[in-house]
Each structure stands twice: as C-alpha cells, then as structure tokens.
Structure 1
Amino acid sequence: MISAAALEPLLARHESGAWAPEALHALDTGEEFPADAVAVLDDAGLAASYVLTPDSDFPALVDLIRTVARRDLTAAIAHGKTFLGSVPVWIAGTPEQATRLAERVRAGDPVCWGLTERDHGSDLLAGELAAVEEDGGWRLDGEKWLINNAGRARLGCVLARTDPAGGARGFSFFLVDREQLPPDAWQVLPKVRTHGIRGADISGFVLHGARVPAEALIGAPGDGIGIVLKSLQLTRTACVGLSLGAADHALRLARDFTKERELYGRRLCDLPHIRRILGRAAAAALTAEAVSSLATRSVHAMPGELSVTSAIAKAYVPTTVQDMLGRLAELLGVRSFLTSPPGGGFAKLERDHRICAIFDGSTVVNRTALLTQMGRLGRLLRRGTADTDAVRTAADLTTRPAPIDPARLTLTSATGCSLVQSLPGAYEGIRAHGHPELTALAETVLETGWQLAAELADFIPVSGGLPSTAFRLAERYERLYAASACLRVFLHNPDRPAEALAKDALWLRACLAHLLDLPDTPAYDELALAVLDWTGPGFTLLDGAV
C-alpha cells in the first residue's frame, strides 16, 4: 500500500502531464472527468488504502487524501468516493462480502454510494427506491440522484426501502454489481452541472427490475439506517483530508504571491497587515490539522465516541478552511477571481472546496447531530468525566494506532467527548510548562469551557426544530474541541513540530489566539514568517512529513 510520502513525489513526476495544473484547469473548464489523473492514482495503487481492515491506519488514509487534494480536489473527490461507497461493507458486511469487495477495490473498480434521492435530499427516511424479496433474491426499483461516480462505478452500495411503511427499521443496504445486471436495469442519468468540481461524475441512476442475489444484502433487513449512521462516522472523518489539502494549496498560492508581488516598492509579505492575514490563515490551518489528527486517531482509540467526534470534525474543519480561503482571497485581491492559470488556481480551489462542507452531511446537519447529544455532553463536561488513557493514546502522534474495530461504533456516545471533558487536565499540563502567555491563553480556554458547560445545563433539544441560538452552542463546542486538540497535540508531541513552529510555543499561541478570536497578536506575524520560509508540500505540525 502506498504512503503519502511516496505518493507526493510520484504526483510531482506527472506535473508536466496528467497532473499539470494547466491540464487540470482545461478539464475543469470543459467539465470533463480527469481520467488521466485518476489513472495515475489507480496505477499507484491508491485504491488499496480504501480497503478497511483491523490493521488499517486511518490517519495514513487521510494523509493520502490530503496529498491528492492539495493538487486537485476534483480528482481527490472522484477517486476517494470509492472509500465512501465501500464503507457499509467494511462496517456491516460478512467476511465473504468484504473479501470479494476488497478484491474489486484493489483492482481499481470504482464504487459509488447510493443514498440520496431527487425529491428527498438528506431525508433518507423518505427514500422511495424499493427492494422486494423475489425468487430467493431481491428486486430493486427506483432512482438515486446526485451520486458521485454514478456513471463510472461498477458497484454501488444502495440504500433501499424494504418495508413499505418505512421508518428507522424500514431500509436495507445492498451491494449491487452492474456487470451482473442487464444493460437496462441500471440506467445512468445525465451529468449534473456543478459550480465546483466541474469535471466530477455527479449524476444519478435508475434501477429497473434490478435483480440481485440474497448475498447482496449487507447486514440484516432493516439495518440500513443504522449502517448509514455508523458509516458516516468514518466517511465524515475521512473528508477532513480534502480540506487539509485545500488549505495546503491555498497557503502555497498566498505565500508565493506575497513573496513575489511588490507594492509601492515593497514586497507584500513585508507589509504588517498582509503578514497578519497570512499568519491568521496559517493558524486556522493548523487548528484544522489538530482537530483532524485527534479525530482520525479516535477511529482507533475512541470509536465509541465517533458519533460526536465525526460530527465535530466534519462541521469544524471544512467550515474553518472555507473561512480561511475567504481571508486569503482578500490578500490575493483580483488574483482570487482569475479563472486561468497561473493566477486562476485559487478561484478553482475556492469553488471546488465549497462542496466539502456539504456532502456526507452539511455543517447544519452535523451540528444538528451534535445538538441531539448536547445534554449529555454538557453533563459530562461539568463532571469532568473522561477516558484520559484513550485521550493520551489519540493525542500521541508517534504511537501506532490500535486495530480498528467497527463493532465498537455506536449510534450515540455514552461517554460523551473525552477530549473536551479532559480539558482541566490539559490546562494543568500547560501550566506546568511555566509559559505565562500560553498559560493565560489556556486559562481563558478553560473558562470558556466552564461557561459553556453552565449554559448547557439548561439546554433541551426542541422537538420539531432547533432555535438558531442552539447552533451557536454547537459551534462553541466545536471550538472547545479544537482548542483541546491543540493543547493535547502540544503536550504529547513535544518533538514533532518543526523548530520554526515549536520555538516559544509559537504554533499553539497562534492557534489559541485564533480560536479565542483575538484579532491582534504578535504570534500571527511570527507564524507568517514560518509560512514564508516553508518549503515542504504540506504546511503541517508533523515534522514536514505530510
């Protein structure tokens, strides 16, 4: 299985061919699928990383997604969809189903995920595509729409209504093999034109009397919605790699522009205001990376809390990166609007990334999911109950993750969110360092945590809808998670960040200032200098290894 460290130079060797920015731009303009770029990923064996086994390294998978995404989000989303489409089998399939699908995935066969429908969007309980038992198997009829790789996929994990009455136990999953169907049984719908990722195969399909064998059923009849919810815990967590790659790409464009552009006889990067914008954007990127690191390692260390962790990661990381892109657009000025290379790279990146906050549950959907558990999260935050051993394991980025066990995934978290609930211990660890500014920032974070915990004491989810103020609570909880992630990465990885970021706790001071929404701090200026000197492919805390 290829690593991110090996994939990066491989893609670099194709910069004058399939992965040339000009070639990818031309395909985007023509709304054409990046087939040659995807073929390079197939030849590299990237699809093998999408096969989830107990020995899989989930953070390594996200690093691979990040490596592809920093060059082109369209190709990353198109190729990575196979992981999303396969997850239900890794979660709930039989060993035989998993073995067969793994062979197909490793061979490069695309897999799509047939969840949504034209008239129902994310309301999966309203789905109409139906499966009826027939002749020892099942017959599927209906439409799925806005499906990535609907036309290219050889296989699809399809959610179907198996009980006419519907309900939480009225749906089931099926692994459908197009090659085992008559040509008219799976009809591909026309490609849908999109604002971003224009070359991706976003369309849909209609099943007409599609007969599949009994072994195509994933799990038991009626398990479909539960499988979806558990699968989303993994897919939402994996999606952070797309945003991290976009952040790398954006920072590189901004770095190059500010170093090369002169205004009134001075380079842009020499202007204090420009450095402040660049430094705060970098701080946002590093907080997103810290959240991603803890969330991806929680797949191994705290799978029972992923219903909370994945919702936080999927809401926080894409939203933070999109806000960061907005800051950098101000810095780039008119260059951020150009649509042709070399200046047009940012415009394509910015519109491509917008989809990252939407698929696999939008920010609102994820915050709603978080709010359904907010009462318990508030109680456990006030008590300070936490699995501190698991938190340390998740936060120590030098240790090999424990085996993945999908059986430990739960629909709700009985233990809440140990990372946030262990915040008092993290504060004590920071205080022991004796750094006055850092201690003051950490103390402010702790105070915001206690304030939020007190407000959550009166929070009761409202049946039939949530007030807008509730979503502000969810956003604040996400920031508390992000701050806790930064503190833990700092405490448990003293030797990982590059010297330019580690000196005088620079990266942590900048990240906490960003999370506390402090507009003016010297840490942003110092961090901007680190960005200007950065030469690796990814702007990262991890020793430049990404």
Structure 2
Amino acid sequence: MSVEDAHIQHTDYEALFRSWRARAGEDPVAATGLPHAFTYGDATALGAQGCQVTTILATALPLATGDRALREAAAVVADGTVAPPRLAGAAALLAATEAAALLGSRAIHGLTAELSVVSAVTAGLATTLVTSALAELGSAERTEPSAAAGLLTAQFPRLVRGFAAGTTDSTGLAEAADIGGPPGAVDIHALAGSSRRGCSLVQQLPALLGRLERDGAPSSVIGPAKELVTAADQLHWRLAEAAPADGELVRGYQLVYAGAASLTLWPRTGEVWVRAALNEVLARLLDSEPAADARARLLAELLDRHRGGHPLTPFGA
C-alpha cells in the first residue's frame, strides 16, 4: 500500500469536515482554498472517484457561510430586521443541511460504495438549502451552484430499484449515523463512478419509520416521518418515469435525503429540531407553507442558544 493510500484510508473525514467548517467560519476568504488543500496524494491517486470525497468535504464552506449569517441575524432579530419565524426557518434549513453533510462525511468510511450518490446529493443541498436559508434571513449572499446534478440523474434507475426493494447496507449506515464515533478505515477500492446499491440512507426510510413507531417516538416525529415516507415513495414513482435531466426531481431527491438525514439523527438533535427540519423540507417537497408552530417552538430554543453563546444549530461550528 502506498503512503498516499494509507493517508486516505485512515483519515477521520468527519473530523476533517468539522475542521474545514470551523476554519471557514473564522476566515471565509482564506477558507475558499481549502478544497485544494486536500493533498493526501491530492486524492488523484483514486482518479475521478477521489473527487467524491472532496465534494462532500467542501460542503463545509457554504455551511460556514450560513452559520455566520445565522449568528448575525440572531444578534439583530430583536430590532425587527429579520422576522423571528424566518430566523427559525433558516436555522432549520441549516440543521437539515448539516445533518446531510455530517452523514456524508461519515459515509466516506461506512458507505464508500455509495459516494457517487452521496457526493452529488450533498453538493446540491449545500447550494439549494443554504441559499434558501440565506434568503430567509434577507441576505444577498449566494452559494456557488453545484455541477453534480448530472451524476445523480444518471443513477435514477438504480435509485428507483433500490427504494422499491428497500436495499440498504445496514452496517455501513449504522457507522455513518454514529456521529462522533471512531470511524473505520476507508475501503478505497469500493469507490466507484456509480452506486450499485443506490442510497441506503433514503432506501431505509420505510424501515426507519417502522422502528420509530415500535420504539414509541413522539407523534411530533412520527407525523412528519410518515409524510416524508409518502413523499419519498411518490418521488420515486416520478423518478421511474422521468427524463434524465429533470432538475426538479434532482432537487426533490436532495430534499428527501436531507429529511432522511434529519430523521436518522433525531435522537442526537432532539424532537424540536427534527420537527422543524422536516417542516422546512416537507414544505419544499410539497410546495406548501411551513407550519408556524414548528418554527415557533424552534425559535425559543434558538434564542436560548444565542443568549448562552452556544452554536445555534445542533452540529454547528
């Protein structure tokens, strides 16, 4: 094994993601060069598939932009510059994005064979949901659009089959969901241009709902979880019939992924956060207005976090 391969295999990518995000929050100008600083053999030893790793890690940069805007808005919300419900909506969007990005960084270890999907989805989310959060805050900032959509549309047929069959890598998914836990070595030979299995995080949704119901999760979690599973099922029927370049369906799949990530991590974030994150995701999936009560409940916790000097989102820097 080469030195470069050993670096790639044994790097803790969740820790690297968190480091990039923290550094970007401190110095956003300097941090724009961070993706190019990934020089464990410059990842080019892995060919084009190595870009899947850097694409996932680079989501730290737009998230850091969202973090800064959210902190600034929380500081001035009392003067009416930002409507309090919109502050809560922006925070929920960022929480959904960071759940997806953190699971993505851990998928590098646990779900390596699925990174062609994970990287395309997380890159798109970091653009669409962070930009939506900035719009909620009245910010003119925008994040750079992702060019990864084509990598996702080419895999629609496998994603449809995987969802219909409920195909998952349960061991890899459990490792990916163990945020903060020790990661295993990366199987660099599992990196591929397309995922044979599809996307375990999304494909586990019906089974995840069943577990939540058996475990007695609160109705405020079960209700939106059922809506998400229904929306995911309807989306996959549309994917089966879609033209390959249908951007609306790409965005829909990204939203389902964000919802699945939020739901998977709800024991760590708490009922208020998962309810608010799913509220924003479902509003965009179903083209409806976000529920005011979910935003109101989140706002109280958000302002408490701000007053206490804590990160404003569950996995914030």
Report the TM-score, using the length of structure 1 for normalisation: 0.53
| Structure 2 counterparts to residues 340-351 of structure 1, below 5 A | 350=141
**Does 1 or 2 have the higher relative contact order (CA < 8 Å, sep 6+)?**
2
String of CA shifts for 1:33-76, please: whole Å, max 9, x gaps. xxxxxxxxxxxxxxxxxx94322110111111111222332111
* Mapped partners of 1:457, 1:91: distance in 2: 34
The answer for the alignment partner of 2:52 in structure 1 is 233
Q: Are the structure 2 counterparts of residues 73 and 415 from structure 1 closer, same or farther at C-alpha, using a change threshold of 3 Å?
A: same
The answer for the alignment partner of 2:3 in structure 1 is none
* Mapped partners of 1:56, 1:400: distance in 2: 11
The answer for the alignment partner of 2:286 in structure 1 is none
String of CA shifts for 1:459-499, please: whole Å, max 9, x gaps. 353xxxx3xxx111111111111111111112xxx3x44xx
The answer for the alignment partner of 1:159 in structure 2 is none
* Structure 2 residue 266 is the aligned partner of structure 1 residue 457: no
* Mapped partners of 1:288, 1:90: distance in 2: 25
SS of 2:167's equivalent in the other structure is: coil
The answer for the alignment partner of 1:372 in structure 2 is 154
The one-letter code matched in structure 1 to 2:95 is L
1:316 CA drift (Å) = 0.8
Q: What is the percent sequence identity of the aligned residues? A: 30
Q: Does the 8 Å contact 2:167/2:200 carry over to 1? A: yes
Q: Does the 8 Å contact 1:280/1:514 carry over to 2? A: yes
* Structure 2 residue 292 is the aligned partner of structure 1 residue 521: yes
1:403 CA drift (Å) = 1.0
The answer for the alignment partner of 2:64 in structure 1 is 245
The answer for the alignment partner of 2:211 in structure 1 is 429
| Structure 2 counterparts to residues 242-321 of structure 1, below 5 A | 242-259=61-78, 261=79, 268=80, 274-321=83-130
* Mapped partners of 1:477, 1:448: distance in 2: 10
The answer for the alignment partner of 2:314 in structure 1 is 541
* Mapped partners of 1:419, 1:434: distance in 2: 19
Q: Does the 8 Å contact 2:108/2:186 carry over to 1? A: yes
SS of 2:230's equivalent in the other structure is: helix
* Mapped partners of 1:460, 1:375: distance in 2: 11
The one-letter code matched in structure 2 to 1:59 is E
1:256 CA drift (Å) = 0.6
String of CA shifts for 1:382-440, please: whole Å, max 9, x gaps. 11111122111111214211112322211111111011111111111222324223211
Q: Are the structure 2 counterparts of residues 255 and 373 from structure 1 closer, same or farther at C-alpha, using a change threshold of 3 Å?
A: same
* Mapped partners of 2:12, 2:204: distance in 1: 25
The answer for the alignment partner of 1:482 in structure 2 is 258
* Mapped partners of 2:20, 2:309: distance in 1: 17
The answer for the alignment partner of 1:92 in structure 2 is 45
1:78 CA drift (Å) = 2.6
* Mapped partners of 2:22, 2:97: distance in 1: 16
* Mapped partners of 2:304, 2:19: distance in 1: 24
1:296 CA drift (Å) = 0.5
Aligned Cα root-mean-square deviation (Å): 2.1
Q: Aligned pairs, how many? A: 304
Q: Are the structure 2 counterparts of residues 425 and 536 from structure 1 closer, same or farther at C-alpha, using a change threshold of 3 Å?
A: farther
Q: Does the 8 Å contact 2:43/2:51 carry over to 1? A: no
* Mapped partners of 1:310, 1:537: distance in 2: 29
1:91 CA drift (Å) = 4.8
Runs of 4+ in 1 over 4 A off after TM superposition: none
The answer for the alignment partner of 1:442 in structure 2 is 225
Say which structure is richer in helix. Answer: 2
Say which structure is richer in strand. Answer: 1
The answer for the alignment partner of 1:354 in structure 2 is 143
String of CA shifts for 1:266-300, please: whole Å, max 9, x gaps. xx39xxx8221111001001001110111110000
1:536 CA drift (Å) = 4.2
The one-letter code matched in structure 2 to 1:234 is V
* Mapped partners of 1:374, 1:73: distance in 2: 35
Q: Does the 8 Å contact 1:58/1:299 carry over to 2? A: yes
Q: Does the 8 Å contact 2:156/2:240 carry over to 1? A: no
The answer for the alignment partner of 1:532 in structure 2 is 303
String of CA shifts for 1:95-151, please: whole Å, max 9, x gaps. xxxxxxxxxxxxxxxxxxxxxxxxxxxxxxxxxxxxxxxxxxxxxxxxxxxxxxxxx
* Mapped partners of 1:60, 1:536: distance in 2: 22
| Structure 2 counterparts to residues 195-206 of structure 1, below 5 A | none
Query: Of the candidates 409, 415, 419, which is equivalent to residue 191 of structure 2?
Result: 409
* Mapped partners of 2:160, 2:72: distance in 1: 41
Q: Which runs of 5+ in 2 are unaligned?
A: 1-5, 284-288
The one-letter code matched in structure 1 to 2:102 is S
String of CA shifts for 1:160-183, please: whole Å, max 9, x gaps. xxxxxxxxxxxxxxxxxxxxxxxx
Q: Does the 8 Å contact 2:20/2:34 carry over to 1? A: no
SS of 2:18's equivalent in the other structure is: helix
* Structure 2 residue 23 is the aligned partner of structure 1 residue 74: no
* Mapped partners of 1:313, 1:377: distance in 2: 16
The one-letter code matched in structure 2 to 1:60 is A
Report the TM-score, using the length of structure 2 for normalisation: 0.89
Q: Are the structure 2 counterparts of residues 316 and 87 from structure 1 closer, same or farther at C-alpha, using a change threshold of 3 Å?
A: farther
The one-letter code matched in structure 2 to 1:395 is A
The answer for the alignment partner of 1:177 in structure 2 is none
Q: Does the 8 Å contact 1:307/1:410 carry over to 2? A: yes
Q: Does the 8 Å contact 1:88/1:231 carry over to 2? A: no
Q: Does the 8 Å contact 1:426/1:484 carry over to 2? A: no
Q: Are the structure 2 counterparts of residues 521 and 426 from structure 1 closer, same or farther at C-alpha, using a change threshold of 3 Å?
A: farther
